[in-house]
Chains A and B, each alone.
Chain A
């Protein structure tokens, strides 16, 4: 499987893992290990002195690259401020940009998202925007300097899989930056489909965290993403309506009784 480049760096794993939703830090650490993910997302929240253990210590111990997100932001203003705070907290200028439109769909708010992207790119950030599966918005995000586009497969936490593979294909076909399918994956075959469509990577958390056995699912996702990428690189056979024998017809024995 080929390496891929994101934000000017080369990565071996095409799985980016969110760290939300795990039952414990230990469960999260074990799942990250099994997933092989090199990049993991973290959020910024009001400090909680009752929290057991520090997520930051846990992730540093795991030696993963921390990608702060702006989860929970509804306006460009809040997302930009959150990204700047994350830059201070984590010493990184990378940000997974999320600007949400409402709490029922958790779909991105396209105009706020684009505004925030423009500001953060100008501020020197490596901007990885979570976006709708809209080829035009993806193009606009690329044009303003985002380092990747991250279209959803289905709503965050829905586990509904890749609902519009045609739009993902169009985004992949036109993109000059990496395309990461972000959100919607429910099980391994969903991740494989995203990769077969030509996505450069998949970002997920719930599909792993909410599986009955998160560690086993993390391992399944790792395999699925590798298999999907290999299949994409190999190039699938054309689909046909009718059968086509793969064994030569010539030389077939003729059996006649008597």
Chain B
């Protein structure tokens, strides 16, 4: 299925969960510490990553800490 991940079109397995997507996008950061996910501009809490399956056409942002400020 086609998803929009961090501004790019991606072909990913059907019914992929957010936890699986994060493991693919951010290997080594699967624990989720320092990582946040929004699906269609809604925050998905880390506790729901395993049970939330993505649907075709959704827009996903996978964000992580970066140096920043002032």
- The answer to whether A45 touches B36, judged by C-beta atoms less than 8 angstroms apart, is no
Say what secondary structure dominates the interface of chain A. Answer: mixed
User: Contact check: which of A69, A81, A182 meets B68 at CB < 8 Å?
Assistant: A69
Contacting pair B70 A46 (CB below 8 A):
no
CB distance from A70 to the nearest CB of B (A): 10
CB pair B69–A44 under 8 Å, yes or no, is: no
Query: Which B residues, 20 to 70, have Cβ-Cβ distances below 8 Å to chain A?
Result: 25-27, 29, 32-38, 41, 43, 45-46, 61-70
Q: How far is the CA of A81 from the CA of B37 in the complex (A)?
A: 11
Number of A residues with CB within 8 Å of any CB on chain B: 41
Q: Encode A29-49 as 1/0 by CB contact (under 8 A) with B.
A: 000000000000111111111
Binds B, one of A15-23, A112-120, A141-149: A15-23
Q: Is A43 a contact partner of B67 (Cβ separation < 8 A)?
A: yes
Q: Are A48 and B35 in contact (CB under 8 A)?
A: no
B27 to chain A, nearest CB (A): 8
Of the candidates B36, B43, B45, B67, the one whose C-beta lies within 8 Å of that of A55 is B67
Flag if A88 contacts B66 (CB, 8 Å). Answer: no
Q: Is there contact, CB below 8 Å, between A71 and B36?
A: no
Query: Are B70 and A43 in contact, with the CB atoms below 8 A?
Result: no
Chain A residues in contact with chain B, CB under 8 A?
18-22, 25, 28, 41-49, 51, 54-56, 59, 66-67, 69, 71, 81, 84-86, 88-90, 96, 156-157, 182-183, 203-206
Binding site for A on B (CB under 8 A): 6-7, 25-27, 29, 32-38, 41, 43, 45-46, 61-70
| A-B contacts, 18 listed (Cβ < 8 Å) | A19-B69, A20-B69, A25-B67, A42-B65, A43-B67, A44-B36, A46-B6, A47-B6, A47-B35, A49-B25, A49-B27, A81-B41, A85-B37, A88-B45, A89-B36, A90-B65, A156-B70, A182-B70
